[in-house]
Amino acid sequence: WTNGINEASKMALLAWEKETGIKLVQINGQRRYGGPPPGWVGGPPPAGTEVYIARLPQDVYENTLIPLFESVGRLYEFRLMMTFSGLNRGFAYARYASPQDAQSAIATFHRFQVRRGCAIVVCRSTQKRELVISGLDASVSQQELEAMLQMVTEGIRSVTLHTSPFHREASLAVLKYKSHEAAALAKKALMEGNVRLREEGMKVEWLDPQLKQKLQNWEEEPPSSWAQGGESLAVPRPAALPASLQNMLELLNVLCWKHRLRTPLFFTKCVQVNPNGWRQFWYQAVIPGFPVPISGFTWVLQDRQGHSEHEKARVVAVLHILRMLGESL
């Protein structure tokens, strides 16, 4: 039944593709031109070259949009978001060869009427790269979450699990991706896909700057866990321990050797103790040959199984280093 929707415009698009020789590739709910286009020499354009296009009529396609936006500058890439029925989703992204071309597109086409009574919005793309998953069960470990995300999304750089500032018995996760496109595709996959961790109250949204600041303050100045009215306030959850410290150190040493770095030196220090058994540790790793020390904070809970709290803090430090080396080398 979808073939009969907007059939005239689809036929015009096919005729345009045949006439121009342009190839459009549709995948993951979007249709792409270029990235790079034919004849492109060199690497991708710098930051600040992509514009966001909104309020498009849903029956307008690339045969109208690409020539229009190419009239003010050379396009590196054009991405039109698509529905299952073959209509566009009302928005697209155009990436130009230079920031000047992108600015020309904004000046020329913002509030431009692509059709009588249909004025579009064109502005600089914000290039958001961070998502937040809220409504996770408190029992979900970071290891489990990372494994799930690697199976259903691509381009993930880091995963940070937090106790929710809004619900003490729930968690939220901040996901950072290598690009806006990777984050947008991940958001779509997590919202619409058959995700193993999906729960009724789980939401996937762009990370709001105010929430980001709140989480940073939460980590830097955690709330007191002194009992009030018989209840303890929540503290940040410690990172999950996916493997023994020895195994992780061996993996880290292999990675350092591969990149001609020397054995890391670790420092851990307990900086805060709460009455309910939680301890905050500062950690730092110095890797000879790596330009800067790697440091951070983590929460550790005392246990009776003989695990050293300093060892737990060091595990978190190793996880942090592995992520940093993966992004930097």
Residue 25's DSSP bridge partners are: 32
Which CATH class for the 245-328 domain?
Answer: alpha beta
Which pLDDT value is given to residue 6? 80
Cis peptide before 36 (omega within 30 of 0): yes
pLDDT tens by residue, 175-220: 888 888 888 888 877 877 555 554 556 788 888 877 776 666 655 4
Could you tell me the strand order of the sheet in which 294-301 lies? 265-273, 278-286, 294-301
What homologous superfamily does CATH list for 130-207?
A: RRM (RNA recognition motif) domain (3.30.70.330)
Banded pLDDT at 12 (limits 50, 70, 90): very high
What's the pTM? 0.51
d(CA 154, CA 178): 9
Which pLDDT value is given to residue 201? 65
- Going by C-alpha positions, the residue among 122, 117, 119, 77 that lies closest to residue 97 is 77
Q: Which CATH number fits domain 7-124: 3.60.70.12, 3.30.230.10, 3.40.80.10, 3.30.70.330?
A: 3.30.70.330
**Contacts of 137 by beta carbon, 8 Å cutoff, 6+ apart:** 170, 171, 199
The answer to whether 7-124 and 130-207 have equal CATH topology is yes
pLDDT tens by residue, 33-69: 999 999 999 988 988 899 999 999 999 999 999 999 9
Both tokens of 172, joined, read: 């939220």
Greater confidence, 145 or 2? Answer: 145
Residue 93's DSSP bridge partners are: 52, 79
pLDDT tens by residue, 227-283: 333 333 333 444 444 445 666 777 777 777 777 788 888 888 888 787 767 788 888
Return the half-sphere exposure (C-beta side, CA atoms, 13 A cut-off) of residue 242: 16
Q: Show the CA angle centred on residue 24, arms to residues 22 and 25, nearest 5°.
A: 145
Which pLDDT value is given to residue 168? 59
The residue extents of the domains of the chain are 7-124, 130-207, 245-328
